[in-house]
Amino acid sequence: MRKESREFLEELLMTYAPSGSEENFQNKWMNYVKEYADEIRTDLSGNVMGILNKNSEFKVLLAGHADEICFIVNYIDDSGYIYVQKSGGINPKLALGKRVKVLGKKEIPGAVGVIAQHQGGPKNELKVSDIFIDVGAKSKEELSGIINVGDFVVYDIGFQNLLNNNIVARGLDNKTGSFIVAEVIRKLKDEDIDVGVYSVSTVSEETIKNGAYFAASQIRPDIAIAVDVTFATDYPGMNKCEHGDVKIGNGPVISMGSPINKNVNKIFIDTAKEENINLQYELTPAKTGTDADQLRITGKGVATALMSLPLRYMHSPSEVVNLDDIENEIELLVKSIKNIKKDINLKPIGNKNEN
């Protein structure tokens, strides 16, 4: 990975982007992409779009969501302890003892309290309402005007390099996707492409998925590709008979199932063979649980696909991905888009021009 791209990825991973308050992240994404895109757009949901070849009637939308799971302040007791609710699918068991940042009027560091094992330890059945955060305050009054109900709370955990070109960080789901769609714009900037490309860093995927719906409703793409992460199954305790065989370092993953347009998948499969990029597969027989679910039902319906990065330890503070997978996914998307011609027939049955 080139030095500037690696630095941009690290900057994104170190930037808090709680689902519902992604503005700081989106500004950094926009400042990077504007150097390569023909046009930048924003919208009411908080999406940022980088556009190439905007005059083409045939449009391809790439959506990588910016937001990360987090907590949100629900109550502050008289002693200054902070209680929270979920914003996205965050697991309270994994929060115990972790360091956090409360994103109030200013960033306040804190620790998630945990009863010591010597004194009975935490509950076996832990609910999010059992979680409390200690910022060192002596009283509720001390936090008045600094921390309020509705402020977001994120893990105060950055990233580290691991062996074999792997990295660990919070929020790899799905800051990596947002990074990937930005890099696709960069690499396609000076290429001869037959279609318009709309790379979108979407918001709120972890909660309400309104970003994807807003983006597709405005752009009205012919093809929409959700760029997200998926469950690797290459570590202890995973049942491959149930969850499939997906390994980090073994290439990007495409989804198979009812939500997915087979003709778009064929482009990926054929391009991967041409470029000698290994592909992995996952099943999404019904909903995908990603932006793809909203993208495909906008307007008259959109030919939608899902390309994912294999990821270990989903929705934990220490997610793990492989940098080679990221680069291979970028390359596959770039080459696939170059192979898309605006006269392609995306219908599973019949000719393109048939009503």
Res 117: pLDDT: 82
Same domain, 191 and 321: yes
* Single residue among 108, 127, 155 that ends a domain in this structure: 155
* Amino acid at site 326: I
Res 267: pLDDT: 97
* Single residue among 128, 155, 182 that ends a domain in this structure: 155
Residue 260 lies in a domain: yes
Res 8: pLDDT: 98
Res 226: pLDDT: 98
Rounded to 5 degrees, what angle do the CA atoms 280, 285, 287 make?
105
Q: Answer whether 229's CB lies under 8 Å from 173's CB.
A: yes
Q: Looking at 22, 68, 183, 205, which residue is catalytic?
A: 205
The predicted model gives 8-18 an average pLDDT of 97
**CATH code of the domain covering residue 110:** 2.40.30.40
Residue 28 lies in a domain: yes
| Overall number of domains in the chain | 2
Res 124: pLDDT: 81
- Residue 39 annotated to the active site: no
Inform me whether the pLDDT recorded for 353 exceeds 90.
Answer: no
User: Which SS3 state, helix, strand or coil, does residue 109 take?
Assistant: strand
Same domain, 225 and 122: no
Residue 351 lies in a domain: no
**Percent of the chain at pLDDT exceeding 70:** 99
The predicted model gives 102-122 an average pLDDT of 89
Tens digit of each residue's pLDDT (9 = 90 or more) over 207-231:
999 999 999 999 999 999 999 999 9
Sheet of 166-169, strands arranged across: 159-161, 166-169, 319-322
Pairing between strand 196-202 and 59-65? parallel
The predicted model gives 17-36 an average pLDDT of 97
Res 115: pLDDT: 81
* Single residue among 124, 155, 186 that ends a domain in this structure: 155
* Amino acid at site 260: I
* Amino acid at site 228: D
Tokens in use for 212?
């994807």
β-bridge partners, 99: 111
Q: pTM for this one? A: 0.96
Inform me whether the pLDDT recorded for 316 exceeds 60.
Answer: yes
Res 116: pLDDT: 76
Res 18: pLDDT: 97
Range of the domain at 50: 3-68+171-339
Same domain, 106 and 29: no
Inform me whether the pLDDT recorded for 51 exceeds 90.
Answer: yes
Tens digit of each residue's pLDDT (9 = 90 or more) over 257-286:
999 999 999 999 999 999 999 999 999 999
End-to-end CA distance of the chain: 46
Determine the Cα–Cα distance for residues 273 and 280; give it in Å rounded to an integer: 12
Determine the Cα–Cα distance for residues 333 and 307; give it in Å rounded to an integer: 9
- Residue 124, CA distances (Å) to 120, 121, 129, 237, 322 in order: 11, 9, 14, 20, 33
Same domain, 89 and 226: no
Residue 316 lies in a domain: yes
Same domain, 216 and 281: yes
Residue 227 lies in a domain: yes
For 7, residues 6+ apart whose C-beta sits below 8 A from its C-beta are none
Same domain, 183 and 225: yes
Name the nearest CA neighbour of 306 among 324, 289, 327: 289
Pairing between strand 166-169 and 303-311? unpaired
Name the nearest CA neighbour of 92 among 101, 102, 84: 84
Res 338: pLDDT: 97
Residue 130 lies in a domain: yes
Residue 202 lies in a domain: yes
Q: Answer whether 231's CB lies under 8 Å from 112's CB.
A: no
Res 319: pLDDT: 98
Same domain, 192 and 50: yes
Res 342: pLDDT: 87
For 259, residues 6+ apart whose C-beta sits below 8 A from its C-beta are 284, 286, 287, 288, 292, 293, 296, 304, 306
Q: Which runs of consecutive H residues, i.e. helices, occur in 196-297?
A: 210-219, 240-243, 262-275, 292-295
The helix (run of H) or strand (run of E) holding residue 11 is helix 3-14
**CATH code of the domain covering residue 270:** 3.40.630.10
Same domain, 92 and 12: no
Res 303: pLDDT: 98
Same domain, 105 and 225: no
Radius of gyration of the chain (CA): 21
Res 270: pLDDT: 98
Residue 13 lies in a domain: yes
Mean pLDDT of the chain: 96
Inform me whether the pLDDT recorded for 37 exceeds 80.
Answer: yes
Same domain, 194 and 298: yes
Same domain, 194 and 249: yes
Res 294: pLDDT: 97
Same domain, 263 and 128: no
Inform me whether the pLDDT recorded for 355 exceeds 60.
Answer: no
